[in-house]
Amino acid sequence: MIERLWFTSIILLVAVFGPIVAFAQNEKSGSDDLQACATNAGSPGVLFRRHFNTLVAPEVFNSIQLTAADGSSYTNSMSTVADIILFPDVRFEQQIQVFSMPRAKTDQRTVIEFRGSSGEILTSCFVTVVEYDASIHDASKTRVGYCNFGGNNGVSNLLVGDVRTFDLPEKYRDGAISPRSVLDYTLEKGWRQVTFVANSAGFATFVWLGVDTGNGMLKGLCPFIVLN
């Protein structure tokens, strides 16, 4: 389980820790013309607080530096001051896994710099953490990889109290879901099926990693809407 492997570090820190645009090739992270990062949220630079997203990254880089709006900065993913956590090795093609902490400040820019082996900036961009709002955001645009649960190609809809079991196309390796107050899951024998339990109304994201690493470890980042 991701909670037991790469996701364990997030739990210890506090809690369950679309259109693609090009990266800006800026050498100055504070530049006013810095472009928004390419994310899966359906709007450039947007990450949803308390949720998993993906971020397009260079194919090869050595380190990641993040600089918050207050000027504080940290390198790579596992810093106790981090509001945004990146998992460079958890990839779907050129997208890497991202998680925005429940405590992350909303509507403030965080600059992300991907650096080479000599510390040079390969590319940089900014992200902004927001609350998911169904009247603004299209959950179907957040889908990455395999999410065809129940034959649904976009968003999976459940009702509060539903317990649904779905097949996976390959053997499950790891996974996580957030927020678990909205949706939880368990794995079935053989780890080729997953059962979802709808706890409360809201939006949730389920991520899963497969055994086959052909296009990356990340096999699906899947949106769910739970309705009353």
pLDDT at 32: 61
* Model confidence, pTM: 0.83
Reply yes or no on whether the pLDDT at 147 is more than 80: yes
Model pLDDT for residues 152-184, shown as the tens digit of each residue: 767 999 999 999 999 998 889 888 999 999 999
Structure token pair of residue 126: 């900014």
Model pLDDT for residues 31-90, shown as the tens digit of each residue: 468 999 999 999 999 999 999 999 999 999 999 999 988 888 888 655 455 789 999 989
Quick one: which H or E segment has residue 163?
strand 163-167
The domain spans of the chain are 2-130, 139-227
Architecture of the CATH domain 139-227: Sandwich (2.60)
Q: Percent of the chain beyond pLDDT 90? A: 64
Using alpha carbons, select from 23, 30, 34 the residue that is nearest to residue 61: 23
**CATH number assigned to the domain with residue range 2-130, chosen from the 4 options 3.40.50, 1.10.10, 2.40.30, 2.60.40:** 2.60.40
Model pLDDT for residues 170-227, shown as the tens digit of each residue: 889 888 999 999 999 999 888 889 999 999 999 999 999 988 777 788 999 999 999 9
DSSP conformation class of 106:
S
pLDDT at 81: 53
Can you tell me the distance from the alpha carbon of 197 to that of 186, in angstroms, rounded to the nearest whole number? 8
Segment 148-154 mean pLDDT = 77
Cross-strand partners of 53: 98
Looking at this protein, which amino acid is placed at residue 82? A
Can you tell me the distance from the alpha carbon of 85 to that of 33, in angstroms, rounded to the nearest whole number? 24
